[in-house]
Amino acid sequence: MSNITATRPMQGSSTPIVLTIAGSDSGGGAGIQADIKAISATGSYACSVITAITAQNTLGVSAIFPIPLEHVEKQLDAVFTDLNVVAVKVGMLADCDIIKIVAAKIKQYQPAFLVVDPVMVATSGDLLLQTSAINTLKSELLPLADLITPNLPEGAALIDCEVPDNEDSMATMIAGLRQLGATAVLLKGGHLEQDENSNDLLILSEQVHHFAAKRINTRNTHGTGCTLSSAIASYLAQGRELLEAVRLGKQYISQAIAHADELAIGKGHGPVNHFFSGHADVR
């Protein structure tokens, strides 16, 4: 595994700014809280727009309160009209109207990079996206994305197929995922728990790249998807090419999971260790 060393923007250069648009996790392990930690730990500046407030801990989600649409819009305008947002990471959006306003603001302000983590199900199994909103997500937001990062259940929901139970059936999703309209799709294979490695597919228009990481035996995996997508957005904001940003993001999340058991947080699925080596960049 690569060494982790502190990183700062070059003297005289602007700080790479990443906006996360997502829900708040009161337990601190996923959502906005995980995004801000991952963006900060990988060397960028994090700002945020909160779309929903969840009552959530390591055991599950007990309530979701969508932020009023007018206030979501005001948050977006406040950030975009002042800060030089280079990359945007989108997570939990909760309903159709919020998806539509986020898509409209992305079109209006045109950040350089858009990474969408189509959050639908929490680690605990709780539904985080209304079923009726999936079609709106597909039609309004995903075609704007430079990268979407579904896990296997999310990918299956997006293209209406069975959830794969092996790598061969995972590969059959490639054509359907390309039709969603995003520039690239990172299909995460972490749910294939019987496999020794956690293998992901980076699906481009004409190529597929494989990323393999040793599977780590821990129950502390809360917020892995949020963390990975935020790290990738952070590296894109710093000027990395997509393939390199995904590689670095994968290395970062692998280390964060490997160090997760150093934390003792909650009674259920604990969080990954975002700051396993201070404010860091993977080299």
pLDDT, tens only, 215-231:
888 889 899 999 999 99
**Quick check: 10 pLDDT over 50?**
no
**Quick check: 62 pLDDT over 60?**
yes
Q: What's the rounded Cα separation, in Å, for the pair 187 and 204?
A: 11
**What percent of the chain stands above pLDDT 90?**
70
Buried b (16+ CB within 10 A) or exposed e, 102-129: bbebbeeeebebbbbbbbbebbeeeebb
pLDDT, tens only, 101-120:
999 999 999 999 999 999 87
pLDDT at 13: 55
**Quick check: 9 pLDDT over 60?**
no
**Tokens 């934390």, residue located:** 263
pLDDT at 61: 87
CA quadruple 123, 126, 140, 234: dihedral sign: negative
> pTM (2 decimals)?
0.90
The set of catalytic residues is 188, 221, 223-226
| Counts of helices then strands in the chain (DSSP H, E) | 9, 11
pLDDT at 7: 42
For 221-245, what is the mean pLDDT?
96
3-state SS string for 19-87: EEEEEEECCCCCHHHHHHHHHHHCCCEEEEEEEEEEEEECCEEEEEEECCHHHHHHHHHHHHCCCCEEE
Question: Beta-carbon neighbour count of residue 189 at 10 Å?
Answer: 24
| Euclidean distance between the first and the last CA atom of the chain, given in angstroms as a whole number | 10
pLDDT band at residue 125 using 50, 70 and 90 as cut-offs: low
Q: What's the rounded Cα separation, in Å, for the pair 33 and 209?
A: 30
pLDDT, tens only, 253-277:
999 999 999 999 999 999 999 999 7
149: helix, strand or coil: coil
Q: Which of 2-16, 130-144, 152-166, 186-200 has the lowest mean pLDDT?
A: 2-16
For 205-216, what is the mean pLDDT?
89
Cα angle 162, 168, 169; round to 5:
5
For 123-134, what is the mean pLDDT?
67
For 237-262, what is the mean pLDDT?
95
All structural domains of the chain, each given as residue ranges with its CATH number in brackets, are 4-282 (3.40.1190.20)
pLDDT at 11: 40
- For residue 20, give the nearest of 60, 49, 55 by alpha carbon: 49
pLDDT band at residue 6 using 50, 70 and 90 as cut-offs: very low
**Quick check: 159 pLDDT over 80?**
yes
Average pLDDT, the chain: 88
CA quadruple 35, 41, 42, 43: dihedral sign: positive
